[in-house]
């Protein structure tokens, strides 16, 4: 057996082919490349902590970056997107320890007749879909994977490939519609029976008085004037900071509950982001999305978002449209067909009490 020495660029091209991506249209450090690398790492390592998966990808891709700085934050954000889309399932240990990620079951949901969103990961880098035997082509769009083919016989083909069909309702698992005040009241009642934790080193909270247009700028430490219910994150010995909800008096936490509470499977940010959306709406400062017509012949619209959404809302968007390169000033953006614009618009208002701004 001989050893061949190759340049980093050649290694990157071979890596893309191994991941199932076309080197002529994809980059190893693009959202598509990072997502594929994380799926492959997860197929061998899961159940694993988020840190283990991020470290594994950084260790492999770092030497191939050719001077480009591969940020841990970028890989971590790509991993969060895989949790959002259902490729990975999150479960926190019963003792409240580090969250573990498990492989999502191979599944699909219909976007529209003939268009199917795929999710899930098979162990040991096995293909989710055998494109050659099924006669299909998987398209990669940022963190999502799609199959397009004639609707006649498509579901039978996907079932033959071992994929389970989910309805939109089963997949999104969106909570029931209710007033923002009810969500806040439920959190407040839970905090009543929780003991005072005292000072929490490293605790950060979302400032409800800050601009909803700049998410990163909303985070800060507690101040002596803080009163009421806040969404926050507290550090832990190992792993990412834990999402939590707290009640403060004069800037001192009187009660803290780690999230999630309502679901055993799922990221803590789901409940945290919904609660923050409720707090913002009740304060008369609702979170916003901006919709503008793209000017294309097919009448598609661009939806721009300025803060992260719960994973069930992200999943809804993955079915309604496609994730695209974000607009300037936005945290992320989706391209939504004109036919789905109205339903998407209403879903965001009803489920998260958001306010729409549009170019019409």
Instruction: With CA atoms as reference, report the closest residue to 319 among 297, 337, 299, 294.
Output: 337
pLDDT of residue 76 exceeding 80:
yes
Q: Of 134 and 160, which is predicted with more confidence?
A: 160
Instruction: Determine the straight-line distance between the first and last CA of the chain, rounded to whole angstroms.
Output: 65
- CATH code, residues 288-359: 3.30.780
Extents of the domains making up the chain = 8-103, 108-172, 180-260, 288-359
pLDDT in tens, 149-196: 777 778 888 888 888 999 888 888 889 999 999 999 999 999 887 766
**pTM recorded for the entire structure:** 0.83
Q: Do domains 8-103 and 288-359 have the same CATH topology?
A: no
Distance CA 233, CA 139 (A): 36
Query: Which pLDDT score, from 0 to 100, does residue 196 have?
Result: 67
Distance CA 202, CA 205 (A): 10
pLDDT of residue 45 exceeding 90:
yes
Distance CA 84, CA 90 (A): 10
Instruction: With CA atoms as reference, report the closest residue to 62 among 26, 125, 15.
Output: 15
Query: Which pLDDT score, from 0 to 100, does residue 149 have?
Result: 79
Backbone angles phi, psi at 334, to 5 degrees: -130, 145
- Fold of the CATH domain 8-103: Arc Repressor Mutant, subunit A (1.10.10)
Give the DSSP H/E element, type plus range, for residue 234.
Answer: strand 228-234
The encoded tokens of residue 285 equal 């400062």
Distance CA 72, CA 57 (A): 10
**What integer is the mean pLDDT of 119-146?**
86
pLDDT of residue 275 exceeding 80:
yes
The DSSP letter of residue 188 is: H
pLDDT in tens, 85-115: 889 998 866 555 567 899 999 999 988 888 8
Q: Of 96 and 283, which is predicted with more confidence?
A: 283
The encoded tokens of residue 231 equal 């969404």
Question: Do 281 and 348 form a contact (C-beta atoms < 8 A)?
Answer: no
Look-up of token digits 């260790």? 59
Least reliable range by pLDDT among 132-141, 276-285, 300-309: 132-141
Distance CA 333, CA 324 (A): 6
Query: Which pLDDT score, from 0 to 100, does residue 95 have?
Result: 57
Phi-psi region of 211 (alpha: psi -120 to 50; beta: other; left: phi over 0): beta
Length of the chain: 360
């Amino acid at each position: 057996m001989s050893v061949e020495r190759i340049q980093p660029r050649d290694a990157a091209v071979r890596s893309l082919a191994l991941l199932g991506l076309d080197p002529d249209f994809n980059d190893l450090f693009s959202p598509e490349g990072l997502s594929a690398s994380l799926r492959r790492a997860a197929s061998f390592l899961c159940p694993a902590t988020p840190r283990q998966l991020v470290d594994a990808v950084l260790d492999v891709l770092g030497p191939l970056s050719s001077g480009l700085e591969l940020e841990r934050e970028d890989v971590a954000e790509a991993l969060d997107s895989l949790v959002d889309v259902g490729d990975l399932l999150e479960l926190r240990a019963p003792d409240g320890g580090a969250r573990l990620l498990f492989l999502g079951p191979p599944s699909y949901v219909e976007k529209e007749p003939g268009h199917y969103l795929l999710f899930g990961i098979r162990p040991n880098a096995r293909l989710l879909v055998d494109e050659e035997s099924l006669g299909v082509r998987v398209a990669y769009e940022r963190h999502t994977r799609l199959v397009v083919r004639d609707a006649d016989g498509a579901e039978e083909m996907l079932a033959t490939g071992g994929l389970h069909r989910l309805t939109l309702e089963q997949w999104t698992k969106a909570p029931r519609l209710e007033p923002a005040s009810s969500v806040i009241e439920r959190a407040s009642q839970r905090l009543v029976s929780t003991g005072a934790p005292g000072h929490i080193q490293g605790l950060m909270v979302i400032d409800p008085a800050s601009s909803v247009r700049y998410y990163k700028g909303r985070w800060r430490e507690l101040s002596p004037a803080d009163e009421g219910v806040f969404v926050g994150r507290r550090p832990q010995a190992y792993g990412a900071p834990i999402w939590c909800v707290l009640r403060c008096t004069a800037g001192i936490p009187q009660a803290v509950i780690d999230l999630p509470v309502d679901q055993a499977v799922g990221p803590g940010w789901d409940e945290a982001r919904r609660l923050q959306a409720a707090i913002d709406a009740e304060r008369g400062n609702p979170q916003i999305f901006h919709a503008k017509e793209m000017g294309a012949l097919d009448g598609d619209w661009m939806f721009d978002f300025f803060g992260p959404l719960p994973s069930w809302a992200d999943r809804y968007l993955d079915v309604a449209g496609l994730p695209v390169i974000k607009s300037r000033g936005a945290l992320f953006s989706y391209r939504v067909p004109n036919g789905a614009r109205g339903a998407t618009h209403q879903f965001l208002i009803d489920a998260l009490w958001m306010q729409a701004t549009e170019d019409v």
